[in-house]
Amino acid sequence: MKKLFIIAAIALPMAFTARAQDIVFDPTMNAQQIEHFAQEIANQVQQIHTLTDQLNEFKHYEDLFGDPSSIALPMVSALNSDLQLPELGQNLDALISITDGAAALTNTVNGLYNAIGATFQTPDGATIQRATNEFKPFAAINQMADNFITVANNAAARRAAIKNQIAQTTSQLNRATTDAEVQKLQGALTSLNADLASTGDEVNQAIGSALVQDIQNRNADQKQQLALREQADAEFHEAVTNYTAKFSLLNEPTLFPTP
């Protein structure tokens, strides 16, 4: 037993010596590591405080100005639908391409004018068919007038709807409580006013087509009158020349025999 104790007493210092070779305790380095770790924790705590302050500031901003994504504008859907509608009116070329002179002979503009008719009777009772192509300029004006009426009626209905949306948006703007809601409503009002102005532009375009066609008709009529006058002058000059060649005028006095 005593021998065993002696062996244990000799082995214990050796074990501590072997352990000391694996782990070396440096008080100075450990203190620096602890200080560095504490600084890292302090930095992280400061970052957390900073993020918390930023979050609180954003929440305060949201309370003051509102969240734009949470604001719904009911008029936007109707506005988008109206803006995506194709223009109802037709351009000048399209209207001219469907012009039919025969239609001008029977068009009374809802009873406002008398129909001309496709034929007429001569005093001797003969039925004469009218040259429908000669009436195409008048049919073109009728087409432009019909196009204008269609566009104007459509624009009037749309203007009433848009003005109603503007009134509702203005009322909602008056009740707005946040800056975000005010800005979105002002944007909607700008778009609505632009849409309202576009209806007037469509009407103006329809009026312009009718005016241009009327100008062309007047111009063509004046050209025809000038051409007819030129033709009449040429025919008159030719007739006088032919008459002079066949019937010479007497240049000397006529002598009558004396009794």
The per-residue pLDDT for range 89-134, each reduced to its tens digit, is 888 888 888 899 999 888 888 888 888 888 988 888 889 999 999 8
Smallest CA-to-CA distance from 75 within 188, 158, 174, 171 is with: 188
The token duo for 54 is: 């930023």
What is the band of 164 on the pLDDT scale with cuts at 50, 70, 90?
A: very high
* Separation of CA 223 from chain center: 40
The token duo for 189 is: 């009002």
Q: Which residue is listed with tokens 């624009």? A: 155
Q: Is the dihedral of CA 8, 10, 16, 20 positive or negative?
A: negative
pLDDT at residue 81 in the model: 84
Region 228-241: what's the mean pLDDT? 86
Residue 5 pLDDT > 50, yes or no? no
Smallest CA-to-CA distance from 187 within 68, 61, 67, 62 is with: 68
Tell me: the pLDDT tens digits for 55-86? 666 555 555 556 666 677 777 788 888 878 78
What is the band of 4 on the pLDDT scale with cuts at 50, 70, 90?
A: very low
Residue 8 pLDDT > 60, yes or no? no
Residue 166 pLDDT > 90, yes or no? yes
pLDDT at residue 3 in the model: 44
Residue 182 pLDDT > 90, yes or no? no
Decide if 182 contacts 176 (C-beta within 8 A): yes
pLDDT averaged over every residue in the chain: 79
Region 8-30: what's the mean pLDDT? 51
Q: Are β-strands 127-129 and 119-121 bridged in parallel, bridged antiparallel, or unpaired? A: antiparallel
Please list the alpha-helical segments (H only) found in 175-250.
Answer: 179-246
